[in-house]
Amino acid sequence: MAKHYDLGIKGEQVAALELEKNGYKILEKNWRYDRAEIDIIATKDNFLVIVEVKTRSSDKFGTPEESVDIKKENNLIRATEAYIEEKDIDMECRFDIMSLIINGDTTVSLKHFEDAFTPTVE
């Protein structure tokens, strides 16, 4: 596998452990809909929490969370709508970003941005 792919997997594992440590219940990991993927789907405090995990080996070219653009947000929203419909979920939903910098085996930085973006109603 490519190095960046392995780093992404490691970041998702670290993020999931951090979420569980903080009282989140993980429902799904890497849930796919069409071409979109939701890294982590969890619940906490009566919210369905959609978590996008971004991992980098440094912030030399910007922070990991800065790479979540409007296209990524729209893909997450579309996939979340499909997930909610498929699983018949009736909960409020929020979108979080977990930003990690991992260098080798060391997590240098882990930031959790709760309610990182809000879908616009059209």
- Determine the average pLDDT of the residues in 7-21: 95
CATH architecture of the domain 3-117 equals 3-Layer(aba) Sandwich (3.40)
Scored b (16 or more CB within 10 A) or e, 43-69 reads eeeebbbbbbbbbbeeeeeeebbeebe
The stretch 46-70 carries a mean pLDDT of 94
pLDDT at residue 1 in the model: 52
Does residue 119 register a pLDDT over 90? no
Distance between CA atoms of residues 108 and 11, nearest Å: 11
Of the candidates 6, 18, 29, 44, the one whose C-alpha atom is nearest the C-alpha of residue 99 is: 18
Q: Tell me what the pLDDT averaged over the chain comes to.
A: 92
Angstrom CA distances, 22 to 43, 45, 83, 105, 111, stand at 11, 11, 24, 22, 13
Structure confidence at residue 104 as a pLDDT band (50, 70, 90): confident
**Residue 6 pLDDT grade (very low, low, confident, very high; cuts 50, 70, 90):** confident
Please report, for the chain, the start and end positions of each structural domain, with discontinuous segments joined by +: 3-117
pTM of the entire structure?
A: 0.92
